[in-house]
Amino acid sequence: MKINLSTRQVPVHIISGFLGAGKTTLLQSLLAQKPAHEVWAVLMNEFGQIGVDQQLLPQQSGYEVKELLGGCLCCVGQLPMQIALSRLIQEKQPDRLFIEPTGLGHPAQLLEQLTEPHWNSQINMRALICVVDGSKLHDAEWTAQDLYQDQLKTSEIVVVSHADSMTNADQLQLTQLKQEYMTGVQSWIISEQGNIRIDQIDLPHSAVERKIVPLIHVQKQLAPDEPLPVIKQLPYHYVEHSNGYTVAGWKFSKSWSFRFYDLLDTLCEQQDWLRIKGIFNTDQGWMTFNFNPEQINYKLGEEGLDNRVEMIVQDQPAQVHDWEALETALLACRISSV
C-alpha cells in the first residue's frame, strides 16, 4: 500500500550535462535498478517541440515519465515545471524521482526553485549530478563554454562518460578539473555506457554556506554590538564552507589598480592553501593568477568585471587562517588614487 506523501519526502535527483554528454544513457542504467515493488518517475525537458528522449525510457508498469517540451525548465518554464512536478508527485506518488533538464539548461536555477521552502515537505533533494563527456575534455573550445562551466559549478557529483574513449590529454584535463572543482564536487565517477550503481549517486544535497560581509578592516571599525551593513556594492569580503573546505574571497572595484609585482609576492607568500585564483587590474595590465600546489601560473588576461581573488584551504580543527593579514597585504598593493 502506498504511503501518503504528506508523511514522507520523495528523493529527487537532477541529472544535468551538456548536449550529448550521456544523460539519457545514465538515466536508462539507473532506472534498470528499480526495485520491483517501487514506482520511479522521470520529469524530462527538451528544448525543441518534438520529444525523443521519452521514447528511449522504459514504458512498462512501475515507471512514470513526464516530458516538458519547448524552452528550458531551468529558466523560462518555472510555472509549467512547478505544476508538472506537483502533479507527478501527488498523482503518481513515486518512490524516487529523476529530473533531466535540457543540455542547454542552467541547473543552478532549477536547484534554487526546488530548494524553496514550500517543496521541503514533498521532496528530499539529493546531490546534483552533472554528466561530462570524458572524450571531449581535451577540446578547449568545448570546455570553455560558459554553460558547460556553469553546470560543473553547480554539480556535487560528476559522472565522466565515454571513459573508454579518453586520451592521455583527456586524463590530464580530468585531473585539472578535479583541482578546479574540489570544493563543490563530492564524488567523481568514471562510467562506461552509463553503468553506475544507484547508491553511488544517492547522496544528500549539500547547500554551500556563503557569507558576504564588508572588508575585514571595515568590520573592525564597527562597534561589537553594531550589525553588519547590507552589502550592495563593492568592495566586499566573503567566506564559504563546503565539503570540508573553506573559500575566502575578496572583490574590489574595477577602477582600483594594483602593483603587479607586489601582488605576486603577496600571493606567493601565502601558506597552507590548496588553490589561489584571481584577476587584477595592475600596472602591467589585467593579470590572471591560477595557483595550485604543482604550479604557480600568471599571465595577461581579458579585462574583468572587477578585481577578485579566492583562496581555498582545507578545514583543520587546530588551524586558524589569518584572513585579516591577507586582506591587509592585498590592500597594501593597491596604487593610491589621486
241 and 195 inside one domain: no
Residue 227 within any structural domain of the chain: no
> What's the grid cell of residue 249?
574571497
Supply the pTM of this predicted model: 0.72
Residue 207 within any structural domain of the chain: no
Q: Which range among 72-86, 154-168, 244-258, 284-298 shows the weakest confidence by mean pLDDT? A: 72-86
Q: Report pLDDT digits (tens) over 84-95.
A: 888 889 888 999
Q: Give the SS3 label for residue 268.
A: helix
338 pLDDT tier (thresholds 50, 70, 90): very low
Q: Report pLDDT digits (tens) over 194-220.
A: 789 999 999 999 877 778 899 998 988
Stretch 116-145: mean pLDDT: 90
Task: Give the C-alpha separation, 99 to 107, whole Å.
Answer: 10
Q: Check: CB of residue 167 under 8 Å from CB of residue 138.
A: yes
Residue 208 within any structural domain of the chain: no
293 and 175 inside one domain: no
Alpha carbon distances (Å) from 35 to 10, 155, 281: 15, 27, 57
Domain that holds residue 302: 236-335
Q: Check: CB of residue 280 under 8 Å from CB of residue 258.
A: yes
What pLDDT does residue 234 have? 93
Stretch 326-334: mean pLDDT: 96
40 and 172 inside one domain: yes
Q: Report pLDDT digits (tens) over 305-317.
A: 999 999 999 887 7
192 and 296 inside one domain: no
85 and 142 inside one domain: yes
Q: What is the DSSP letter of 32?
A: T
pLDDT at 187 over 60: yes
Total count of domains within the chain: 2
